[in-house]
Amino acid sequence: MGNKQTIFTAQQLDAYQDCTYFTRKEILRLFHRYRDLAPQLVPLDYTNQPDVRLPYELIGSMPELKDNPFRQRIAEVFSEDGEGNMTLDDFLDMFSVLSEMAPRDLKAYYAFKIYDFNNDDFICKSDLEKTLNKLTRNELTEDEVRMVCEKVMDEADLDNDGRLSLEDFQHMIVRAPDFLSTFHIRI
């Protein structure tokens, strides 16, 4: 217990527990995962909140993320600087949202951000194409890609403005049977 206490103060742990879906043990485990990425950068003492951020290259190389086609987007969305460089807070944030306990709405919100490649708060055709190409590793022909994107738009775009707003996206994703089971990372 002794060395654990020095990483965070009790208040910090409590605050983290209030702000995430994790238990104390999980937070500590996540901290160690974070630290293992770059032991020389991350101090063992977080009581005075050092300003440390790990570059995207390290975050993206985590086994949980390294095979994910959207890893860069995930890191960008959750990092404070938008470049994928993460502080411990961002890191906790990310896995909290992706944890099993997070509610559907929160997950849907972040999923929307992840799939919104150009950050314009709408998923437009180009975003869809990017998503599809990442999912299939460019295996589909251009015609097929276009067709699929059109179909998606056709299905999900409720107000017919040619792009998916957050509401459209939520409307669609909330009904998906697999969304909750697939949009989570067990850490």
Partner 1 sequence: MPKKSDNTRKLEDVGIEIDGDPDSADEVKNTKSKGGGKKPTGKRGKADDSEDGEDEDEDDKPQKARRANRRKAAQQQPEEEDSDDEIPQRRAAGNRRRGKPGANGGENGENKRNKRGGKKQKEGKGKGGGKKKSSSEDSKSEGGDEEEESMSEGERARLMEEVEEKKKLIANIRNKPWRMKRRLKHLKEAQLFVDKFEGALGKGKGRKLYAYKVMMMKKWIKFQRDFDNFKTACIPWERKIKEVESHFGSSVASYFIFLRWMYGMNLVLFSLTFGLVVIPEVLMGLPYGSIARKTVPREEQDSAMDYSVLTDFNGYCKYSVLFYGYYNNQRTIGFLKFRLPLSYLMVGIGTFGYSLMVVIRTMAKNADVGGGDGEDSEFTFAWKMFTSWDYLIGNAETADNKYASITTSFKESIVDEQENQKDENIHLRRFLRVLANFLITCTLGGSGYLIYFVVKRSQEFQNMDDLGWYEKNELEIIMSLLGLVGPMLFETIAELEEYHPRIALKWQLGRIFALFLGNLYTFLLALFDEVNAKLEEEQEIKNASIWFTKEYYANYTLNNPNDTGTPPPMDPADVIRGPCWETTVGIEFVKLTVSDIQVTYLTILIGDFLRAMIVRFLNYCWCWDLEAGWPSYGEFDISGNVLGLVFNQGMIWMGAFYAPGLVGINVLRLLTSMYYQCWAVMACNVPHERVFKASKSNNFYMGLLLLILFLSLLPVVYTIMSLPPSFDCGPFSGKERMFDVIIETIELDLPSFLGTLFTYAANPGLIIPAILLMVLAIYYLNSVSQAYQNANLELKKKMQMARDEEKNRRNNKDSTNQVMKDLEDLLPNRSNLPPAEEAKDKHEEKKAKVKPGAAGNGVNLQKDVSLASANPNARGPVTQAPGPRAPGPGAGRGRGQGPPPRR
Are the beta carbons of 84 and 72 closer than 8 angstroms? yes
In the bound complex, what is the minimum distance in angstroms from residue 127's beta carbon to partner 1?
10
**Could you give the CA distance from residue 75 to residue 93 in angstroms, rounded to a whole number?**
11
| Chain-centroid distance, C-alpha 122 | 17
Residue 161's alpha-carbon distances to 8, 28, 126, 127, 152, in angstroms, are 48, 46, 14, 15, 13
Stretch that binds partner 1, among 37-45, 52-60, 84-92 (CB under 8 A): 84-92
For partner 1, which residue of 5, 6, 14, 36 counts as binding (CB under 8 A)? 14
**Could you give the CA distance from residue 118 to residue 131 in angstroms, rounded to a whole number?**
12
Residue 48, interface with partner 1 (CB under 8 A)? no
**Could you give the CA distance from residue 112 to residue 167 in angstroms, rounded to a whole number?**
10
What is the token pair recorded at 131?
A: 């998503």
Nearer to partner 1, 41 or 65 (CB): 65
For partner 1, which residue of 33, 64, 124, 125 counts as binding (CB under 8 A)? 64
Q: Find the binding residues for partner 1 in span 124-153 (CB under 8 A).
A: 128, 131-132, 135-137, 139-140, 144, 147-148, 151-152
Count interface residues toward partner 1 (CB under 8 A).
82
Q: Find the binding residues for partner 1 in span 89-108 (CB under 8 A).
A: 89-90, 92-93, 96, 98, 103-106, 108
In the bound complex, what is the minimum distance in angstroms from residue 48's beta carbon to partner 1?
14
